[in-house]
């Protein structure tokens, strides 16, 4: 049984480990290491970050929203990050988390969610598309990873209940 609840500071060691597992795949992010809690905490919307917890109390995954800009005109636009622990991948936990975040973000006034995903990360692209995201662009050779240029597909989901419909 999986339940979703707000991510708390005490969850950081488990959340950071899951993030580190994602980094190790080479298909989740251009980041090379997970930051310290204070840095991560400042970068993410406090009310829109969640963990998926098993009945045994293990953190199986997490999801969080990052503002895309500090400018007030973009207050309803956020970038999604979703990571699943390696032992729990393929169990639809990402889908549960993403559906939950979409609903909560709309209740908080977000009208656009974005994601930047490596084109090779087909499972993540499919997960987002299943939840109403569409590919809107492509950032070619946007960053280097271990000396290799990587590109990113840009995905966007527009709310049907918040903002311009």
16-66 pLDDT tens trace: 999 999 999 999 999 989 999 999 999 999 999 999 999 999 999 999 999
| Contact by Cβ (8 Å): 97, 82 | yes
pLDDT value, residue 74? 79
% of the chain residues with pLDDT over 70: 99
pTM of the predicted model as reported, rounded to 2 decimal places: 0.94
Q: What share of the chain is helix, strand, coil (3-state, %, to 5)?
A: 35, 35, 35
pLDDT in tens, 93-119: 999 999 999 999 999 999 999 999 999
Structural domain including 7 reads 2-113
Measured distance CA(15)–CA(113) in Å, rounded: 21
Nearest Cα neighbor of 78 from 94, 97, 63 is 63
29 found inside a domain: yes
Predicted confidence (pLDDT) at residue 138 exceeds the cutoff of 60: yes
161 found inside a domain: no
Domains in the chain, number: 1
% of the chain residues with pLDDT over 90: 89
108 found inside a domain: yes
> Which residues, 6 or more positions from 73, have their beta carbon under 8 angstroms from its beta carbon?
none
Within 10 angstroms of residue 144's Cβ, the number of other Cβ atoms is 10
């Amino acid at each position: 049984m999986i339940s979703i609840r707000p991510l708390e500071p005490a969850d950081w060691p488990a959340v950071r480990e899951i993030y580190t597992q994602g980094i190790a795949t080479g298909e989740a992010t251009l980041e090379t290491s997970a930051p310290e809690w204070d840095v991560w905490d400042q970068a993410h919307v406090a009310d829109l970050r969640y963990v998926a917890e098993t009945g045994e109390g293990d953190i199986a995954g997490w999801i969080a929203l990052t503002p895309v800009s500090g400018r007030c005109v973009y207050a309803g636009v956020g970038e999604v990050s979703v990571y699943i622990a390696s032992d729990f991948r393929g169990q639809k936990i990402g889908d549960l988390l993403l559906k939950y975040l979409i609903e909560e973000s709309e209740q908080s006034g977000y009208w656009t969610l974005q994601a930047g995903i490596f084109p090779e990360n087909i499972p993540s692209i499919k997960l987002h598309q299943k939840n109403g995201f569409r590919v809107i662009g492509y950032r070619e050779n946007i960053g280097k990873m271990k000396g290799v240029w990587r590109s990113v597909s840009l995905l966007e989901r527009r709310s049907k209940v918040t903002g311009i419909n």
